[in-house]
Every structure is written in structure tokens, then in C-alpha cells.
Structure 1
Amino acid sequence: MPDTIWFRDDARPRRPRLSRERIVAAAVALLDAEGVAGFSMRGLAARLGAGTMSLYEYVRTKEDVLDLALDEVIGEIEVPSEIQAHGEIEGHGEPKPWRELLIAQLTQSRAVMRRHPWVPALTATRPLLGPRALARSRLFYAALAEAGLAGPVLTAAVGTLSSYVNGFVAAENIWWQKVRTPAADAEIRARVAGHLDAEFARLSQVEDADFDGQFLLGLGLILDGIEGRLGGAGR
């Protein structure tokens, strides 16, 4: 297990000109602009108009900054108000059905990863132990546990949902980084469809550019599998 800021009591002295909050906000902006590969403490310091070494008054390492930036943007995924801090659904009112709740959460996750294309790369390389990430994880485990999953099956269900969203959005981000416009996307799809025989083109529906619809269909298939495991009829 790598060393991570979440395992340490790492309070650092504060100077008025900088703060950990300012550093994290600048780190998110730099990651949005340059990605993980282009991120550096020197570049972050330049964005803040500070010396590189002054950043280490607030964080110990570059990895700490990445951990904090990742948890910051995960906080853009809203945890419903009916979910208590310990992850359980409050007793008053009707809770959202687990399926509806997870679709809403994962749709928000995709939107966050589209706004911040560097997120999938970081979620794959570090434990997600920040307060915002843990709140979201508690929500997933609680929803599926209340639906009836437990033990390794519960863990596998959470992991499968997470991997699906991360993989889908990582591929989607790379595609749009290369293709850039819907017009170019449509041109490529038309050329591919013309290259395939008619039967294969019909089956593959390669000209379908509805990423939103494809995402929800794929997510629905996974949730159908989970529901089938619970003994439901699926959808």
C-alpha cells in the first residue's frame, strides 16, 4: 500500500499568502489544462505566483497534491441529503430505490470525469481515502447491501460499476481529444460503416454517436445482472 496523505496526521504551518485550499484549487486547474503527465510542483508554484519550495509548507509531496485534488473534484458528485454520514438511508421518507440512486451517482461521476479528464488515470493508481471519496463509497456499499448483496459479491458489484464508468469515460475522453468535433466523429463513423459489409454495419450500429445513450445502456446491463443476482426479474 503506497504512502498517502490520508494515512498521516499531516497538519502544516500556514502562511497568509498561501493556503492548502488555494493550492488544491490551482492544482485542479493545472490538471485540467495539462493532465497528469504535464503536472509538476514547479508548474503549480508558477500558477500560484510562489516559489516551489513554499508549497512544501502545506503538503509533503506531489502525490499529496494529487490526492487532495482528486478528492476535491470527487466532491462535485452530490451525495443525497437522505444519506447520513455513516452511509445509511435515514428512516424518514421513502428512500430512492438502489438502482435509481446508483444511476444518478454514476451519471454524475461520468460528468465529473468529462469535466476533469485526468480523473480516471488517478483513480486507477491510488486508494480513494479522502473524505469525499469515502462518503461516495459508503453510499454505494450501503445501497447495494440494503438491496441484498453481501461479502465478495457486494465488493465485486461495487468494483464492476466503478470499472465500467472509469473505462467508458477514459475511452470517451481519449476519443474526443483526438477527434475533437461531432462533425469529425460523424465523418469517421460514416467511413467505417462504408468499409463494413451491410450486415456487420447493421449489427454494430457503428454510426450511433449517442454516447449518453450508450453509457446508460451499458450501465443498465450491469444493473440487470446485479438485479438478477438478487432474484429480481431485471429490466
Structure 2
Amino acid sequence: MVTAADRAKGPARASVWLGGKATRTRRTDQPAGLDLDKITAATVRLLDSEGLAKFSMRRLAAELGVTAMSVYWYVDTKDDLLELALDAVMGELVLPGTVDGAETGTGTETETGTGTETGTETEPDGTETGPDGTEGGTEAGADWRIQLRRLAAGYRSVLVRHPWVSPLVGVFLNIGPHALKFAAVSQEVMRSADLPLRGQTGGLAAVFQFVYGFGTVEGHFRDRCARAGMTQDEYHQHAMGGMSEQPSLRRTFEQAQDLMAARGGDTVEEMRERDFDFALDLLIAGIEAKRGA
């Protein structure tokens, strides 16, 4: 465990991946069956079920049925565990071109952590799509637009399934193995888009910072609805009804009605999907306009 005296000797390390106890093996006097993978998995479960604010080493130890000191044999701080959990959920992403079992381009994929196998369907234009409408086709040489959409959809899904991820993304360096693989694949896809080299990081920022913002809002909205004991549609109707009754908000609310009607969609999920798809289309169109510039 890092003590005040240890911290006084020098600045704390920037990442758990740059040193610390994360590579240690179990001592003979440690609880049988306890290892870093199990500790990390339990951390993810607790963050999913109880949220970031309630997470503590004491709560984690209770979940594992061990003492807090047993956990500290494997990590130095709570931040170490949060960083490990963050990279673990990045491992749920199915990446274009990978051949390590996460994704093979054969028409099926297994979403890590859910055990759900999803097939692909072929649209009239030849584009492969999954059951959720996400474009597929990740074999070598696949169109960069398809691959970029798939990466964006995957990242959004992680943010929505795990609302605690978004507050941590800007806190840690995100240099774990899964995060680095995601970054490498994303960079390779952007290179395929034929943007000038000086603009490729900007292209990645445009897409993935948009996805980060969209997925963060979506994830926290879903979480708030669940905690309120309401469906997303029920919560939306409740909120819209309250806004329409407030004189100070009524004009803005009325002005937005034509936008809402034009967007279409009978449910919050449908409206959200239309917005996400169209916004991503705009970003890809912008990248296409800058190709070879």
C-alpha cells in the first residue's frame, strides 16, 4: 500500500501499467482462488451495480469475501483498480481486423462479457449489418467507413453499458493492452481514410469525442431512468410534460417541436439512434471532403 512517506519520496506513477503490484502472483498466505483477474472482474461488477461514488476497497473486499489487506497485496491503491477495470471493459470491443478470437470477420461475433452471439445480415447494397443495424464487414480491406462506424458503435456501447467509464477516461492515461489495441486499430482505420497525416488525429478526435459525449449522456440518462424506476420513454414524457408547463421554458419547448417531429421515431431509443446515425454520417462526410487535401 502507498503510504504518505512513500508519496513524499517522489511523484506518484502516472499509471498502474507503468509499475506497481499489478504483475505480482499470489502469496502462499493469501486466500486461495484470489487473483488480479478475479479482483478486477469483481470491481467491474460493483461499479456496474452500485456506481463509482459508492465503490471502495472495503466494499470490494466484502464482495470477494476477503480482507482489504488481501486486495492490497495485488494493487497499491483504489485508483489502480479503477484503471484496471477501465481497461477490462475496453476489452469488450470487437475490433476490425483482429484474429485473436474477438473478431474474425466470419459473419459472427461474440460480445465479451455478455455471451451474446450476433450474426450479420446483408443489406440490398451489399453492406453487412448486425441485428442492431450496426454495419459490419471487418475483413482485411473492408471500407474504412464501415470500420469507423463499427468502432464508433462499439465505443458508444461500452460507455452506455458502464456509465462509470466516462468520468474515468480523462483521469487515466488509458495505456492498458485493450485500450492500446483500440487506439492502434482506430489509427489504422483513419489512415485508410486517406486524410493528410496532419489531420488524422483531428479526424479521430472528431469521431470519438463525439461518441464519448453522446455515449456519456445516453449512459447516464439510462442509469437515471433505472434508478427512478421508470422506462426511458416514461421518464422522457414526464420531463417533457413538466417543461411544457413552465412559462419560462414553454417558448423554447414549442420551438423545438418541429425539430422533434422531423427527427421521427416513436421511442427514445429510436430517436436516439436516428440522431447518432445522422451525426456520424455528417462526420464521415466531413472526413471524405478532406481526403487527399
Alignment of 1:49-198 (within 5 A): 49-80=65-96, 82-83=97-98, 95-179=141-225, 180-181=230-231, 182-189=233-240, 192=243, 195-196=250-251
Correspondence 1:12 to 2:52: no
Task: Note the residue ranges of structure 1 that are not aligned, 5 or more in a row.
Answer: 86-92
Coordinate RMSD, CA, aligned: 2.6
Say which of 14, 19, 23 aligns to 2:39: 23
Compute the TM-score of the two structures, normalised by the length of structure 2.
0.69
Structure 2 CA distance for aligned equivalents of residues 94 and 9 of structure 1: 38
Describe the superposition over 1:78-110 as per-residue Cα deviations: whole angstroms up to 9, x where unpaired.
123x3479xxxxxxx752111110111111221
Which residue pairs with 1:89 in the alignment?
none
Distance 1:188 1:95, change over 3 A: same
Higher helix share: 1
Say which of 55, 64, 75 aligns to 1:48: 64
Q: Which runs of at least 4 in structure 1 moved beyond 6 Å after TM superposition?
A: none
Which moves more between the two structures, 132-141 or 172-181? Answer: 172-181
Which moves more between the two structures, 41-50 or 216-225? Answer: 216-225
Compute the TM-score of the two structures, normalised by the length of structure 1.
0.84
Higher strand share: 2
Say which of 271, 274, 280 aligns to 1:219: 280
Which moves more between the two structures, 71-80 or 22-31? Answer: 71-80
Distance 1:231 1:55, change over 3 A: same
Task: Note the residue ranges of structure 2 that are not aligned, 5 or more in a row.
Answer: 1-11, 101-138
Contact 2:48/2:162 (CA < 8 Å) preserved in 1?
yes
Say which of 39, 56, 70 aligns to 2:55: 39
Structure 2 CA distance for aligned equivalents of residues 220 and 149 of structure 1: 17
Describe the superposition over 1:182-206 as per-residue Cα deviations: whole angstroms up to 9, x where unpaired.
1231343366568347554213548
- Which one has the largest radius of gyration? 2
What is the percent sequence identity of the aligned residues? 32
How many residue pairs end up in the alignment?
224
Contact 1:71/1:131 (CA < 8 Å) preserved in 2?
yes
TM superposition shift of 1:58: 1.1
